[in-house]
Amino acid sequence: MLSGQIAGDTGPATPASEAEAPVAVQVREMAAERVERELENQGDTVADQDVELRAQTAGRVAEVLVARGERVAAGDPILRLAMEDRAARRAEAEARVAQREADYEAAQRLGDDGFQAQTAVREARAALEAARAALAAIEEEIRHTTVRAPFDGVLEERPVEVGDFVAVGDPVARVVNADPLLAVINVAQQDIGRVRLGAEAVVELATGDRLEGVVSYISGAAQSGTRTFRVEVEAPNPDGLPAGVSATVRIPLESVQAHFVTPAVLALEESGQLGVKTVNEAGEVVFHPVNIVRAEREGVWVTGLPERARVITVGQGFVRAGEPVRAVAEAELPDDRTLPEPEAPPAALGDGD
């Protein structure tokens, strides 16, 4: 009687074949490929040369030769200041030099003949050198009345116009050379040891343009506030792409074997470890912790999987590691069909239900 009472409480038994039927999952056969592990940072671009030209002599702007935005070659005149009395001062200095030369030659002849003391000869020599120095100074001042481009580039700014008066030190032009273009990034202290001078790099501009360059500068000291290091990538820019735009810089570090997967196949273990579930030869689920090597628009490259693996693409959310499953390859399914997601098991009923 006791035995029958227990059997009645448990209800009808479930057939063993139905209880043990494995869950069907969809798998894709994948092989590892060689891919570059990259260091990716966001930064900005700056021109390789960016110089503000200032007046080296005072005067009125008499002529403007280059408009803003025009290209200039090294040595090209950008603007000229009025000569004013400089030509007359140069003529006076030249005449004084000629007179001092004659005085010195006469003093030297008299000194050689013994008719004049050597002190007078030296004084004549000093007067000649002073006259020559004055002539050189006015000639230098005249040269500074023409402002020239220091290198090939583009006239970015010209804050003066004809008729403006400029004093010594006033800004008169800004010349920018953006070829090559420099991409500046800040690399974290834990990554700086993997960056090397001369390493190849790819610069993707916010404009959609892509440049290739090399690491040209690595700061020797971290910035005190962020503990990051300034790194510059120099990239040829023959098309004259603008400086100052945002950029993504990718520096290849090493070549590794990795698998390309979509984010949909990534799973989280209870411990929070990111991984991918596969099916082994015994038909059991295996959880592989993975590391993301590189992210792309269509998916991510990960390491941690066997060289060849059957990755679960549908149903991974309903199976656990070690659980037997029935693996169905994508190639075995009809066109435009995928295996339906298995239903989640019903929640357990409480005593009061």
Whichever domain contains 299, its CATH number is: 2.40.420.20
Please state, in angstroms and rounded to a whole number, the distance separating the CA atoms of residues 275 and 305.
9
What pLDDT does 13 receive?
47
pLDDT at 333: 54
Task: Tell me how far apart the alpha carbons of residues 176 and 151 are, in angstroms, rounded to a whole number.
Answer: 9
Does residue 252 fall inside a structural domain? yes
Q: What share of the chain is helix, strand, coil (3-state, %, to 5)?
A: 20, 40, 35
Report residue 36's pLDDT band, with 50, 70 and 90 as the boundaries.
confident
Q: Are residues 26 and 43 in the same domain?
A: no
pLDDT cut 90: percent of the chain above it? 69
- 287 and 242 in a common domain: no
For residue range 121-138, what is the model confidence (pLDDT) as tens digits?
889 899 999 999 999 999
pLDDT of residue 283: 92
Give the burial class of 107: count Cβ atoms within 10 A of its Cβ; 0-12 exposed, 13-18 middle, 19 or more buried.
buried
The pLDDT of residue 348: 42
On whether residue 112 sits in a domain, the answer given is: yes
Q: Can you tell me the mean pLDDT for 228-256? A: 93
Q: How far apart are CA 301 and CA 265, in angstroms?
A: 12
Q: Note whether 248 and 106 are same-domain residues.
A: no
CATH number at residue 188: 2.40.30.170
Tell me which residue range forms the domain holding 282.
22-33+257-332
Same domain, 251 and 302: no
Min mean pLDDT across 81-85, 112-116, 249-253 is at: 112-116
Q: Based on the fold, state whether residues 261 and 284 are members of the same structural domain.
A: yes
Count of structural domains, the chain: 3
Q: Does residue 158 lie within any of the structural domains?
A: no
Please choose, from the candidates 180, 316, 286, 296, the residue with its C-alpha nearest in 3D space to the C-alpha of residue 243. 180
Residues 194 and 36 sit within 8 Å (Cβ to Cβ): no
Cα dist. 98→87, 132, 133, 167 in Å?
17, 9, 13, 32
Residues 56-67 have a mean pLDDT of 96
Q: Which of 69-83, 178-192, 288-302 bottoms out in mean pLDDT, i.e. has the lowest?
A: 288-302
In the three-class reduction of DSSP (H, G, I as helix; E, B as strand; rest coil), residue 116 is classed as coil
Per-residue confidence band for 297, with pLDDT thresholds at 50, 70 and 90: confident
Asked if 196 and 241 sit in the same domain, the reply is yes
Specify whether 133 is located in the same domain as 273.
Answer: no
Mean pLDDT for the chain overall: 87
Task: Answer whether residue 153 is part of any domain.
Answer: no
State the burial class of residue 271 (Cβ atoms within 10 Å of its Cβ: 0-12, 13-18, 19+). Answer: exposed
